[in-house]
Chain A
Amino acid sequence: MAEHLQREIREMKKAILEIGAVVEESLHKAVKALQERDEKLAKSVIDNDVEIDHMEVDMEEECLKVLALHQPVASDLRLIVSILKINNDLERIGDLAVNIAERAAFLATQNAIDIPLDFPLMAEKTKAMLRKSLDALVNGDSRLAYEVCAADDEVDAINRQMYLQVQDAIRRHPDRVESLIHLLSVSRHMERIADHATNIAEDVIYMTEGEIVRHRTEDYPSQSRRV
Chain B
Amino acid sequence: MKFSLRDLNVWFGSVHALTDVTMDIPANEILGVIGPANSGKSTFLRTLNRLNELKPNFRMTGDVRLSGADINKTDVDLLRKKVGMVFALPLPLPLSVFDNVAYGPKMHGVRTKKRQKEIVERALKEAYLWDEVKDRLDTPASKLSGGQQQRLCMARTLAVEPEVILFDEPCSGLDPISTAKIEDTMLRLKANYTLVLVTNNVHQASRVADKTAFFLSGRLIELDDTDKIFTAPSDKRTEDYIGGRFG
Residues of A within 8 A of B (CB): 1-2, 5, 71-78, 209-211
Contact = CB atoms under 8 A, between A and B. Distances in A.
Contacts of A72: 243
Interface of B: 202-203, 206, 229-233, 238-239, 242-245
Nearest to A2: B244
B203 A76 contact: no
Contacts of B244: 1-2, 5
A63 to B, nearest CB: 16
Contact of B231 (A2, A5, A74): A74
A6 to B, nearest CB: 8
B230 to A, nearest CB: 5
5 contacts: A73-B202, A73-B206, A74-B238, A75-B243, A78-B232
A118 to B, nearest CB: 41
Contact of A75 (B203, B206, B229, B239): B239
B232 A210 contact: yes
Residue among B203, B229, B244 with the highest chain A CB neighbour number at 10 A: B244
Nearest to B245: A2
Contacts of B243: 2, 5, 72-76
A165 B244 CA distance: 58
Contacts of B203: 71
Contacts of A210: 231-232
A77 B243 CA distance: 9
Contacts, number: 35
A112 to B, nearest CB: 53
Contacts of A75: 232, 239, 243
A139 to B, nearest CB: 19
A105 B229 CA distance: 52
A78 B245 CA distance: 16
B153 to A, nearest CB: 28
A1 B239 CA distance: 15
Among A1, A72, A73, A209, chain B packs the most CB atoms within 10 A around the CB of A73
Contacts of A73: 202, 206, 230-231, 242-243
Contacts of B206: 73
Contacts of A77: 230-231
A73 B133 CA distance: 38
B203 to A, nearest CB: 6
Nearest to B239: A74
A71 B231 CA distance: 12
Nearest to A1: B244
Nearest to A77: B231
Nearest to B202: A73
B231 to A, nearest CB: 6
Given A2-B243, A5-B244, A74-B233, 15 more contacts: A2-B244, A5-B243, A71-B203, A72-B243, A73-B206, A73-B230, A73-B242, A74-B230, A74-B231, A74-B238, A75-B239, A75-B243, A77-B231, A210-B232, A211-B232
A72 B230 CA distance: 9
A211 B232 CA distance: 8
B183 to A, nearest CB: 15
B107 to A, nearest CB: 43
The 9 tightest CB contacts between A and B, nearest first, are A210-B232, A2-B244, A74-B239, A73-B230, A73-B242, A2-B245, A1-B244, A74-B233, A76-B243
Contacts of B245: 2
A69 to B, nearest CB: 13
Nearest to B246: A2
Contacts of A71: 203
B200 to A, nearest CB: 14
A211 B233 CA distance: 11
Nearest to A211: B232
A209 to B, nearest CB: 8
A148 B244 CA distance: 33
B157 to A, nearest CB: 30
Nearest to A6: B245
A11 B202 CA distance: 25
